[in-house]
Chains A and B, each alone.
Chain A
Amino acid sequence: MSNWIDIAALNDIPLRGARVVKSRVGCVAVFRTAEDKVFAIDDKCPHEKGPLSEGIVHGTAVTCPLHNWVIDLETGMARGADEGRVNTYEIKVEDGRILLDGARLLARSAA
């Protein structure tokens, strides 16, 4: 079951940028693309744990700032020849507010 948590206004994240949400299972990077789509994935590159929230956002991908791995924001999969995957979380925008599904974030920590 979803547990939508209002985390911030859409405008709190710069276009083609990201901010971080702290959770008990680690930091989640929340991205806003050029066209106001939002995505939430673990803020940890599958390669060397680089902070993806600091990468350059292009299309629906982010390039890790440490070694330029390109991570697909929709699937969490590394693109190109690289192999790896990060967790993705359900997220949506309603009336300019960003809602993050806390079901997994909170449930996992409680378990």
Chain B
Amino acid sequence: MASGRMLEELFELAPDTYDVTLFGAEPRGNYNRIMLSPVLAGDKTYEEIVTHDADWYRDNGVDCRFGEAIVKIDRKKKQVISTSGATDYDKLVIATGSASFFIPVAGNDLPGVIGFRDLDDVEAMLAAAKKPNGRAVIIGGGLLGLEAAAALNEQGMSVTVLHLMGHLMERQLDPAAGYLLQKELERRGIRVICNAHTNAIVGTDRVEAVLLEDQSTHPADIVVMAAGIRPETRLGIDAGLHTERGIVVSDGMQTSDPDILALGECVEHDGVVYGLVAPLYDMAKVLARTLTDEVAAFKAPEVSTKLKVTGVDLFSVGDFGEEYEEIVFRDPAQGVYKRITLHEDRIVGLVMYGDTRDSSWFFDKLKTHEDISEIRGTLIFGSAGQGIDPLAAVAAMSDNSEICGCNGVCKGTIVTAINGGATDLGAIRAVTKASASCGSCTGLVEQVLSSTLGDDFILPAASGICACTDLSHADIRRVIKSRSLKTIPALMQEAGWKTSCGCHVCRPALNYYMIAEWPLEYADDLQSRFVNERNHANIQKDGTYSVVPRMWGGMTTPTELRAIADAAEKYKVPTIHVTGGQRIDLLGVQRQDLPEMWADLNAAGMVSGHAYSKGLRTVKTCVGTDHCRFGTQDSTGLGIQLEKMLWGSWTPHKVKLAVSGCPRNCAEATCKDLGVICVDSGYEVSVAGAAGMELKQTEALAKVETEAEVLDLAAAFIQLYREHAAYLDRPYKWVAKVGLDWVIERVVDDLENRAALCERFEISQSVYRADPWAKQATPEFQANKWAALADLTLEAAE
């Protein structure tokens, strides 16, 4: 492909300068490799993508040796050796392209494992697609892999894409656009698995399945390797040409031997190997000029990407890194995402998904470094948006435009309701249901109100949880549930986030909401957690940490105390403090000592006390009937049972419990989030106390007769709190908002609902009732997380 274009340029510049002989390992001439995807999809035939046919070569006097591979270059004799002998050259051009990179796993050489580089690969795939119920696994969710996936899906195969990274096409797209793309492919029936680490390809005579590291298997009749390309540099290396990842070329496309030139995917220019078509064509121009002794230089171009999948509109160019200012536009209902990155009033990057109509308008401004400060306010709306304000855009929408996707409400219906007297958001929701489900179109409904009523409607100030969104905590929880959104990027897109990756306020909240809603599916995002929950210790003012092992129900043993004392001495803990939660706090621990200290404490049978988490902290107890002459029940035993049930769970804010063995209340249960007072006839359970910045006595939830009922009430109450409270609201704040009666109805009166809450809590605990210290104390974590990345204190100065 590159050679054909280069010859075109050469013959135009200087038709008779060279006698050209063209060798090619493939038994056919030049065709447009980037159009292989449409051939695979059946949208084009091979004949349609041929760029230079036999006639063209004959007319230009090219001696074609297709199917004849070069085996060696003899630079001394200036000869190339092919299967049929030696051929002399004055100038030699290498355009060997690249091969699919076959990931180095067992079974990658089984029949049925194919690359995606040439027509033979396409024919092999088409042959597989002809068999009924064929299954294809594509390894690699980049440009090429996804084109293959979409095409094979069109051909009727059942397709699974395995992608190593966290989102599709991560080199061209940001997570939001990657999410939309994945959603579209899944809508078509393609399975997409991200963070997929391939362990092996299995099969006896030919490929049968792909095995991932998580031990899941994915049956396959063919496996397409699309995990990257490897420049075909063997000839260059054998001939002793300077070769790095590709054959290194100068600006004039000369290799380290001035009589040998190279272009295309086999070369490396200024440290970069190109795999897209536009730069290859630029190289062809430069190389042809160098051959005719003109001075020309290849310059790294701005490379834009479009995915060749029918019905997917996607465009990406330039630098969309985060160190630049950004303007983000999202239209959740239409599945549109646009992001412009700016540097010093100039566009430096652009990602568009769902609507790429103005891509060339933006691309142009990027290439010409146009100053956009004058039109910045409306830039994101593209060429058509210049001179229009957002409210006018709503006014200009037709009556048939859909405003609320959940309930299928059009603008006309809303306007009719407004004219019928529904003049605020609540009334609109009551009459039309617009924005009454997930709420993400609330802003749009308000704009319709404003544009219809004029000055009679005042747009409310945004009440979002942070500057990234106008949605409240309750809105966000509703969107997550109603739309089944299972990742943070998915939520940010569907709820129209104004930033690309949130901030320190919204991300921890979103991470919690995902954990609470999808305990089995969501992977906890450590980078969206506050330091204490990431490091499982409490950071102190001097950057050291405090370590608090759990003491179930405030009970301990000589062995545990000895282990704590040993650890304190071994790690030179400067301060030991007995906490109000009936356990021991080791303060001033160095960060790097944490994992080993945990391992020591683990060895003595102790686990994390979660003294740092938005989760269960302690269950305080008194010694109850075991020792106390006033004790009425086994308060200690009940406290331990509660703690063993609740520990490890994540909650909107911290949760503290206490169990007192009699109304004298030595465990101070009546200022806890949940407190139990034992009496002769049973247990008084009360909730929503506080003893922090505010002081508040608990309120009675229920009185029950058995320990089992106390445990159920506690689990149900905590689960209700987990499912409904705003992040960082303690239970007493949340109960004040929803009302104690509302809570009692669900947790106490409705037994079926209580059981359902308990069941959901248990499902979540099946994942989270575990010691995080044990996990982090492993040598693997040690190397990957706790150790310094590098130590330059030993490096010599220049």
Q: Are A60 and B507 in contact (CB under 8 A)?
A: no
**B784 touches A (CB below 8 Å):** yes
Chain A residue at smallest Cβ distance from B323: A60
Q: B residues near A, CB below 8 A?
A: 166, 174-175, 245, 271, 320-324, 326, 499-504, 507-508, 526-532, 534-535, 539, 541-543, 591, 784, 788-793, 795-798
Most buried by A among B326, B503, B790, B796: B790
> How far is A30 from B220 in the complex, measured between Cα atoms in Å?
41
Most buried by A among B504, B528, B529, B795: B504
Q: Are B504 and A56 in contact (CB under 8 A)?
A: yes
Q: Are B784 and A12 in contact (CB under 8 A)?
A: yes
Contact A49 B543, CB 8 Å, known A8-B790, A14-B526: yes
Q: Are B792 and A16 in contact (CB under 8 A)?
A: no
The 8 A CB mask of A60-82 against B (1 = contact, 0 = none) is 10010110101001100000000
Residues in B neighbouring A5, C-beta threshold 8 A: 790, 792, 795
Q: Are A37 and B321 in contact (CB under 8 A)?
A: yes
Contact A57 B792, CB 8 Å, known A37-B323, A68-B504, A73-B323: no
Q: Are B541 and A54 in contact (CB under 8 A)?
A: no
Q: Are A35 and B174 in contact (CB under 8 A)?
A: yes
> How far is A21 from B245 in the complex, measured between Cα atoms in Å?
29
> How far is A61 from B324 in the complex, measured between Cα atoms in Å?
11
Contact A3 B788, CB 8 Å, known A24-B793, A56-B508: no
Q: Are A60 and B322 in contact (CB under 8 A)?
A: yes
Q: Are B504 and A33 in contact (CB under 8 A)?
A: no
Q: Are B501 and A59 in contact (CB under 8 A)?
A: yes
Instruction: Point out the residue from B500, B530, B543 that lies within 8 Å of A56, measured CB to CB.
Output: B530
Residues in A neighbouring B508, C-beta threshold 8 A: 56
Q: Are A48 and B795 in contact (CB under 8 A)?
A: no
Q: Are B501 and A13 in contact (CB under 8 A)?
A: no
Most buried by A among B320, B321, B508: B321
Contact A37 B790, CB 8 Å, known A56-B528, A56-B530: no
Q: A residues near B, CB below 8 A?
A: 1, 3, 5, 7-8, 12-17, 19-24, 27, 30, 33-37, 39, 48-51, 54-60, 63, 65-66, 68, 70, 73-74, 94-95, 100, 102-103, 105-107, 109-110
Residues in B neighbouring A65, C-beta threshold 8 A: 530-532, 539
Residues in B neighbouring A103, C-beta threshold 8 A: 798
Most buried by B among A19, A49, A110: A19
> How far is A105 from B790 in the complex, measured between Cα atoms in Å?
13
Q: Are A23 and B793 in contact (CB under 8 A)?
A: yes
Instruction: Point out the residue from A8, A70, A74 that lies within 8 Å of B323, measured CB to CB.
Output: A74
> How far is A37 from B326 in the complex, measured between Cα atoms in Å?
15
Residues in A neighbouring B529, C-beta threshold 8 A: 56
Contact A21 B504, CB 8 Å, known A5-B795, A50-B543: no
Chain B residue at smallest Cβ distance from A13: B789
Contact A106 B504, CB 8 Å, known A21-B788, A35-B321: no
Q: Are B271 and A94 in contact (CB under 8 A)?
A: yes
> How far is A8 from B792 in the complex, measured between Cα atoms in Å?
12
> How far is A56 from B468 in the complex, measured between Cα atoms in Å?
15
Q: Are B798 and A106 in contact (CB under 8 A)?
A: yes
Q: Are B792 and A95 in contact (CB under 8 A)?
A: no
9 closest A-B pairs by CB: A110-B797, A63-B504, A19-B789, A65-B531, A16-B527, A7-B790, A56-B504, A54-B531, A60-B323
